[in-house]
Amino acid sequence: MHADQRYRDKVRDAAGILALIEDGSTVVTNGGSGLPNRFLQILAENAQSFRDVRVCHPMRREALPIVPDLVAKQNEGHIFHVSDFSFDRPIIEAIREGRAVYRPNHPTDSGRYFPYDVDVLVIAVSPMDKHGYFSLGAFGGWIMSFVAKARKIILEVNRQQPRVLGTCQVHVSRASAIFEADYALPKIELSGLVATDEEKAIAGHVAEIVRDGATLQIGAGAMPDAVLKLLKNAGYKDLGIHSEAMFDGVADLYEAGVITNARKSTHKDKFVYALAFGSQRIYDFIDDNPAAEMHDIAYVADPRVICTNARPVSVNATIQIDLMGQCASETFGSQHYSGVGGQWNFHYGTSLAEDGRAVITLQSTAKGGTVSRIVPVLPLGSAVSISRNDIQYVATEYGIANLKGKTLEERALALIGLAHPRFRDDLEKNARDELKVLPHRFPGWRADSAPTR
């Protein structure tokens, strides 16, 4: 049968889509810029006609109003949420109140170790090509591992989803139903963010360890954007991208000739990524672009793949770090804040490379400078996202230090030197008297001295 005829035979209206969901079933959706917004609208409007439906997704970023919220208290007993990656405020509150749960895992394991049968998989896709294939859109790498596991697949065809090249594709023959929609993707205007003086200082320290020909993984936010601007203005050459996510700034560096991907040893001349998020600029950049390949997150974030890149550099942020080098990026104590995403994968994979440089960044203080984010020990209940055995570079506005291979004494001293000066004496006293990691004063060390690399 011709692909066009298959497509027409599988198109359903809202009632037809809801008929594919049964009480007690597990529904997996894509998230972020690939969130199937129209499907979730319909499910929310009819939530109380179902019982015990489990909805699983990596990230919510609504482009359309979903009312009532699926995690609202009124839907308890009807819809239950499982979140894998990033939380918004309603999800955080639902987790704390027991109406949703967080599933800790690395993105490489998200589909591989999924603990439930996937009764229905819902994916926002770009329009079908002439061969009957749909691109899984701007967030496709995160959901690709679930395609083979799904009993039923609903494709929400949105003509505003970019047609992304690479391996994240699905054929019309795999679809149980097709649902047509037309809405703009969620926008995050990252290029307009204004970095603080502290963020600019951190960016400067990070940029110092990047070399020509490096393969980068850099996250989202004002500080990462400041790093990219520094790399652009400093005249770096032949940088490459192998990253969990693509954001607006990489398009700027590509057009400026700073990113060429020419020295990459894996996927030479290609951007490699699993999802894209930002303004319309990045969606337009990846659309039908042969230079940009989207792959399954299980491949992109595999440390065994990451370490094969030329001069890999990864840059990620944490909430707190203690004097042993343990990073908490997911929780404040026992309170959930976010998922870990690919942070550990890229930090570890990058540090495996002989010339890899994996950086964890944080501002030295929080709450208007009244609290140190470098602490003697992580608070009780903290999730350790990067262990002390895996940590490599740490950067604050006061400098950058390589902790890899350092003793507990040496790393405590380096981290104290990265802390805000008003907290250094207390950190030293605690390290000496309570943690017992400073049995004696190192000759020549001063509390205000910058750490050596």
Active-site residue list: 244
Residues 6+ apart with CB under 8 A from 440: none
Q: Which pairing describes strands 331-332 and 335-336: parallel, antiparallel, or unpaired?
A: antiparallel
Q: Name the residue with tokens 């594919």.
A: 20
Residue type, 285: F
* CA dist., res. 67 & res. 405, Å (int): 52
Residues 6+ apart with CB under 8 A from 44: 66, 67, 68, 69, 70
Residues 6+ apart with CB under 8 A from 23: 50, 51, 52, 53
* CA dist., res. 425 & res. 378, Å (int): 18
* CA dist., res. 330 & res. 52, Å (int): 28
* Residue among 142, 133, 144 nearest 175 (CA): 133
Q: Helical H runs in 212-337? A: 222-233, 248-255, 280-286, 297-300, 303-306
